[in-house]
Amino acid sequence: MKLHYQESGEGIPLIIIHGLFGSADNWRSMAKYFSRFYRVVSVDLRNHGRSPHSDEQNFTIMAGDIHQLCEDLGLDQVNILGHSLGGKVAMKFAAMYPDMVAKLVVVDIAPRQYFSAHTPLMDAMLALNLSQFTRRTEVDDALAESVPDKAVRQFLLMNLVSERENFQWRINLPALKANYPELMAAISEDKTFSMPSLFVYGELSDYVTEQDRQQISRQFTEAKFSGIEKAGHWVQAERPQQFKKVVEEFLQND
């Protein structure tokens, strides 16, 4: 599958992969910053953003999509950065194509299996009859009944688009829900990796525990860790300056 992507800057390629329900648009400010040093390629995963929809979705397929993009762009070796679901895709890409990865940055996710946390969000979005609404505020109000957290709603509503005066979800919600168990699966638990790796996590997040860090150290023998104070799961949005600093230092240092 040919993924939609946004590209800026020159130099060593840096591929950025968003998380579940996200898109390259979420990373524009970070991409702009890192494009001062790198050729930044921000992707939309399949069933997200402006990329094509598909009934199939798992980590092997998504890593293959990234590989096809690298081939299309003539990229032989890349730095790769992924947040949450994108972090797992980045780890799977490193497992499948280790010689292509110069440095790996994984943001607030571990390679282990996770359990259902997003199904209620997908159910809430699917339950809305979007043809009833004429304003985004009306959709927000309706979604608030099931998703009271305003920040989460604002993030989800970034996927709401208007076409021919009708609202629709840009992400492929039915496929994401059908393949959700695949998206929670563990990544290459029987393999070890020697490429330089940085695992960034929010100290207020429960996605990466001390036990996870021990497992990561066993799998990724060159792993370094950076806990960001006062940050939850969306580390890059909640503490952007600290995030830029730790990632830049890791990528710039030999």
| Residues with catalytic function | 84, 233
User: Do 159 and 147 contact (CB within 8 A), yes or no?
Assistant: no
Length, in residues, of the chain: 254
Distance of CA 178 to the CA centre of its chain: 19
User: CA 124, 152, 92: angle at the middle one, nearest 5?
Assistant: 90
Of residues 193, 196, 194, the one with CA closest to residue 253: 196
List of E strands, the chain? 5-8, 13-17, 39-43, 78-83, 101-107, 160-163, 166-169, 197-202, 223-228
